[in-house]
Amino acid sequence: MNDLMEQFLIEGSELVQVAIDDLMALERDPADVARLDSAFRAVHTLKGSAGLFDLVPMGRVLHAMENLLEQIRAGALTASGRVIDTLLEAIAAIEGWIEAIGTDGGLPAEAPSHAATLDTALRASLHLDAPPADTSAARVPDWLVELLLTEATTLSAAAAAGDTLTALRYVPAPDCFFLGDDPMAVVRSVPEPVVLAMTQREASPASALDVFACNLIITLVSRAPAEAIRRAVRFVADQVEIAEIPRATGPGANLPTSAVQLGGRSMRVDAARVDGLLDLVGELVVAKNRLAHLVHAAGPSIDPQLAHALADSQNGIERLADAMHSTVMHIRMVPLAKTLRRFPRLVRDAAAQLGKTVHFVISGEAEQADKSIVDGLFEPLLHLLRNAVGHGIEDGTHRLAAGKQEAGRITLSARRLGEGLVVEVRDDGAGIDPAILRRVAKERHLLPDASIDALDDTSAMELVFLPGFSTAAAVTSLSGRGVGMDAVRAAVEALGGKVMLDSRPGAGSTIRISVPQGAVATDLLTVQVAGELFGIPVEMVSEAAHVPADRILPLRDGEAFVLRNRTLPLLRLSVMLGLPAPPRPERTRVLIATSPSGRVGLEVDAFAERMAVLLRPLDGLVAGMPGILGTALLGDGRVLMVLDLPELLP
């Protein structure tokens, strides 16, 4: 994949997100002109990029979206719920396609037919609503937006001087030279110009110019009264568009400031490079510790003055290494908004699917946390929100009967608490009845009945976190993906966090997730298997042993060995990973791990070292690969695969 495409994938998903945010905002307030303009620009830019890469179906949908938005901007159509629905559906498809390009390198096979359906739906929306007679929302044509952007400095200076500015776009007819027109003469006659720009209407190479055809687009801004400008261009009025530069939306005010600001202070760096830097800093910290040890050891045997200087220098290096560590950690801090902003649409869709009305509020999205935490919160929060919509919020009739407002309310809030973050999902739905939890837990034999009965109401809430509590029977199509609250808890714990549930029947539930702000290092044991290095989280391993080969016994179709009078099954890690198994040495190395069915021995070729790493979840091509927990970057740039033992073990 080339750089340009990579850039498109990054920017494309950002633009999609912008468009989604804007459309959702428009749904709340259809009169929000700034949001409308922003959505239009995002779609317009996306269309341009799609054209660059010959992504025809994508271009087709974006083109239809652009038309629809254009009509809304022109006041010919209102941004009603149905129109927004259609637009959101279309942008969701675009989002999916961009993801598909990222993972599979191209559009999915069904993209053309999907595009045709969306195109038809978008076109149909054009005639959905009767146009309200509203001319007050003056629309800003594209070319003007572009002009305002490129000439921002000149224009804001002129606007600051108190001038009313009028822009005109003059596209002379291609045959105007034959008709005796001289567009330059027209341009000269426009009084008091402030800006003059010229581009070609159709790009033509310098070697293939048709000198007899006019191929120019002339844009001009003047501070003269519009009347005087109209007079100057009256003979070519059919080829000229005139627009007053709106004061309120004056250059720089309402316009895509983000595009202007971007070039300035921020820069985009691949997260992997920052992680690479962090790993280097980790190595530096290790080297620094070794140096401290050496300095200490050398102390008595060398010249005291030299020892003193060495200790000084070592202190300096230590300070620098620590400072570097915290600086790099800081680079990885990103606002939670990165994850949270995806939820409004998902909640909206989920609620619509169930025919419920949900008022969803997010707060605290500006709080920052390490990128791994922010990314890692997505899955558990998504699951919690789906639960809240699916199980928490009752349908309208039940709510009214219970004396609640018809629309349910879900809030997702984040705040800082000490060194960590607290993220809360709160709904005002039905809540959870501890009696039902106890009953379900008994039905599924999650705990002995006696211990379930012994739980007080608060502790009974904990039952939902037990593996096997949520089953297909208890979940709807929406939240039922085979993951239950136990998966939420596991995901949060993997981030070094905790989950707490508080619920009152009839009044709703609150789920509180507390996570650290910084990334947590995972302790790994590295092992050698078939010449390759793999990482295993230390907490999965209870001990490491050397087992003589003659003590390994065949057992049915497998092998076993005896460890302290207990027979444990022995599995060869190389076989489990599909790697060639080298001949067994006289004393083989075995890790004792705990599997759901008891302890097992895992035979490896060699134990390597123990290290603390930042575990990165799998993404890209290997995302979702079974048996792999994630990857870590080693000091020498190699990538270490970290194994997910519970998934690998039978």
Partner 1 sequence: MSVRLDNAIIRLEGECRVEDAEPLYAMLQDSVGRGVDLSAAGHLHAAVVQVLVVVQPEVEGTAADPFTAQWLLPLLNSAR
248 with 198: CB under 8 angstroms?
no
Q: How far is the CB of 168 from partner 1 (least distance, A)?
A: 14
Q: How far is the CB of 219 from partner 1 (least distance, A)?
A: 11
Q: How far is the CB of 160 from partner 1 (least distance, A)?
A: 21
Q: How far is the CB of 44 from partner 1 (least distance, A)?
A: 24
Nearer to partner 1 among residue 172 and residue 434 (C-beta)? 172
Q: How far is the CB of 28 from partner 1 (least distance, A)?
A: 43
Nearer to partner 1 among residue 185 and residue 473 (C-beta)? 185
514 with 417: CB under 8 angstroms?
yes
| H or E element that contains 218 | strand 216-222
**Which string of b and e fits 587-619 if b means at least 16 CB within 10 Å?**
ebbbbebebeeeebbbbbbeebeebebbbbeee
What tokens were used for 51?
């054209």
Q: How far is the CB of 159 from partner 1 (least distance, A)?
A: 20
Amino acid found at 305: Q
524 with 512: CB under 8 angstroms?
no
Q: How far is the CB of 157 from partner 1 (least distance, A)?
A: 16
**What is the CA angle 353-359-365, rounded to 5?**
110
In sequence order, the β-bridge partners of residue 415 are 422
Helices (H) and strands (E) in the chain, counts: 23, 22
- Cβ within 8 Å of residue 363, ≥6 positions away: 411, 412, 413, 414
What tokens were used for 184?
């330059």
437 with 460: CB under 8 angstroms?
yes
Nearer to partner 1 among residue 53 and residue 177 (C-beta)? 177
Could you identify the residue written with the tokens 């002009």?
A: 147
Nearer to partner 1 among residue 39 and residue 186 (C-beta)? 186
Instruction: Catalog residues that contact partner 1 under the rule CB under 8 A.
Output: 172, 176-177, 181-185, 187-188, 193, 196-198, 200, 204, 206-207, 209, 211-212, 214-216
567 with 549: CB under 8 angstroms?
no
Nearer to partner 1 among residue 158 and residue 414 (C-beta)? 158
Q: How far is the CB of 179 from partner 1 (least distance, A)?
A: 11
- Residues 200, 558: Cα–Cα separation, whole Å: 76
Q: How far is the CB of 119 from partner 1 (least distance, A)?
A: 36
Nearer to partner 1 among residue 161 and residue 555 (C-beta)? 161
Closest listed residue to residue 62, CA positions, set 81, 84, 40: 40
Backbone angles phi and psi of 566, in degrees to 5 = -125, 140
Nearer to partner 1 among residue 186 and residue 524 (C-beta)? 186
Nearer to partner 1 among residue 197 and residue 576 (C-beta)? 197
Nearer to partner 1 among residue 201 and residue 546 (C-beta)? 201
Q: How far is the CB of 234 from partner 1 (least distance, A)?
A: 18
| H or E element that contains 563 | strand 558-563
- Residues 513, 424: Cα–Cα separation, whole Å: 6
Nearer to partner 1 among residue 200 and residue 326 (C-beta)? 200
Q: How far is the CB of 222 from partner 1 (least distance, A)?
A: 12
Q: Quick count: other Cβ atoms within 10 Å of Cβ 121?
A: 17
Query: What is the full DSSP assignment across 604-633?
Result: ESEEEEEEEE--B---GGGTT-TTEEEEEE
Write down how long the chain is: 650
Nearer to partner 1 among residue 25 and residue 216 (C-beta)? 216
Q: How far is the CB of 257 from partner 1 (least distance, A)?
A: 24
Q: How far is the CB of 148 from partner 1 (least distance, A)?
A: 18
Backbone angles phi and psi of 265, in degrees to 5 = -105, -20
- Residues 373, 382: Cα–Cα separation, whole Å: 14
What tokens were used for 225?
């009264």
- Residues 102, 91: Cα–Cα separation, whole Å: 17
Query: What is the full DSSP assignment across 31-63?
Result: T-HHHHHHHHHHHHHHHHHHHHTT-HHHHHHHH
What tokens were used for 273?
């490079």
Could you identify the residue written with the tokens 């596991």?
A: 490
- Cβ within 8 Å of residue 317, ≥6 positions away: 288, 291
- Residues 425, 413: Cα–Cα separation, whole Å: 7
Nearer to partner 1 among residue 200 and residue 477 (C-beta)? 200
Nearer to partner 1 among residue 169 and residue 356 (C-beta)? 169
Nearer to partner 1 among residue 157 and residue 555 (C-beta)? 157
Nearer to partner 1 among residue 145 and residue 213 (C-beta)? 213
